[in-house]
Amino acid sequence: MNVLVTGGAGFIGSHFVRAMLAGRLPGLEGARVTVLDKLTYAGNFANLGPVAHDKRLDFVPGDVADPALAEVVVRRHDTVVHFAAEADVTSTVVGTTVLLDAALRHGVARFVHISTGSVYGSIPAGAWAERAALSPTSPYAAMKGAADLLVLAAHRTHGLPVLVVRPSPAYGSHQHPENLIPRLVTAVLTGGRAALHGASARDWLHVHDLIRAVALVLADGRAGEVYNVAGSIELAHRDLAALLLEELGATWDSIDIVPAPPGEDARQALDDDKIRHDLGWRPHVEFASGLTSTVGWYRDNPGWWRPLLP
């Protein structure tokens, strides 16, 4: 199998690539991998350090929205796993369109699009299932929702074998400090301060469980389907912060509770019965141990995250 991974130097994409080349993802043992990454703020070649010299890995610096580059790269692969996305139309919507066009021309056998559960919007109780209508609140979620619809339309119109994965918010090592958990952790470790929207609530998914779900969808998912991947625990941001402060032996002095900004979903929650029933996926990483290991990684790797701080 020849797998093109867009955004493969980012947080989730690099975890996927490292695990694939280490033989930890069932069905992908022995696969050759090409990472296509623009290396903007969220992409870091150092994330691929442990596998950088693997003979099965090629790295192509570039933009998924570049049609000429996509044409050259996609034609050498039978599988595309599309993680690349940023908070702009070019990367998220145009880039997805360019990749889909190239995948159609070259007869790609599987196209897995990594979306987000935020495309459904906020839900006061219960959890969104895959059949729910998209109702994104933020511009980023709206762009991801548009990309989802383009991907699914490529299947309905042209028969491209696409699959969409919509996960809950993920956490783990190698996540940019702009994100909630590393933002709080690095603020405490540097003696700084971090803003927190205390009333918001999320269902947290460890990145190792997410990449395992992506591998299962790639191997055995049904073309044209959407698969939600929920986390192992739902927490209000204030409760999450309390756990992090306890783990770090810190006090609330480093946290500023502020109102949620416009477009912030009050609560996000996903129903993932489909991937559990159809593909046998279950989360393996218990939240307490996952949080401990994540905090430990940031404590031990300041050389990775300090240059990324504003």
Q: pLDDT tens digits for 108-159? A: 999 999 999 999 999 999 999 999 999 999 999 999 999 999 999 999 999 9
pLDDT at 87 over 90: no
* Spatial distance between the Cα atoms of 81 and 204, rounded to a whole number of angstroms: 22
| Domain 2-169+204-229 in this protein, CATH class | alpha beta
Report the length, in residues, of the chain.
Answer: 310
198 pLDDT band, cuts 50/70/90, is confident
pLDDT at 89: 83
Has residue 199 got a pLDDT over 90?
no
Residue 262 scores a pLDDT above 90: no
Cα separation, 183 vs 101, in Å, equals: 37
Residue 282 has pLDDT above 90, yes or no: yes
pLDDT of residue 86: 85
Give residue limits of the domains in the chain: 2-169+204-229
Q: List strands edge to edge, sheet with 162-167.
A: 57-61, 32-37, 2-6, 79-82, 110-114, 162-167, 225-229
pLDDT at 238: 95
Nearest of 225, 268, 283, 280 to residue 127 by alpha carbon: 268
Q: Does residue 19 carry a pLDDT above 90?
A: yes
State how far Cα 19 lies from the chain centre.
Answer: 15
DSSP state of 30: T
31, 84, 85, 83: which is closest to 58 by C-alpha?
A: 31
Tell me, what's the pLDDT at 209? Answer: 98
Mean pLDDT confidence for 259-287: 95
* Vertex 178 angle, CA 114 and 297, to 5°: 85
Instruction: Inform me whether the pLDDT recorded for 261 exceeds 90.
Output: no
**Structure confidence by residue, pLDDT tens digits, 206-254:** 999 999 999 999 999 999 999 999 999 999 999 999 999 999 999 999 9
Give pTM, 2 decimals.
0.97
Tell me phi and psi for residue 78, to 5 degrees: -100, -10
Which tokens go with 146?
A: 């548009």
At residue 17, the pLDDT reads 98
What is the average pLDDT score of the chain? 96
Q: Can you give the three-state secondary structure of 209-228, one letter per residue?
A: HHHHHHHHHHHHCCCCEEEE
In DSSP terms, 6 is beta-bridged to 36, 82
Whole-angstrom CA distances from 84 to 104, 106, 298 are 19, 20, 24
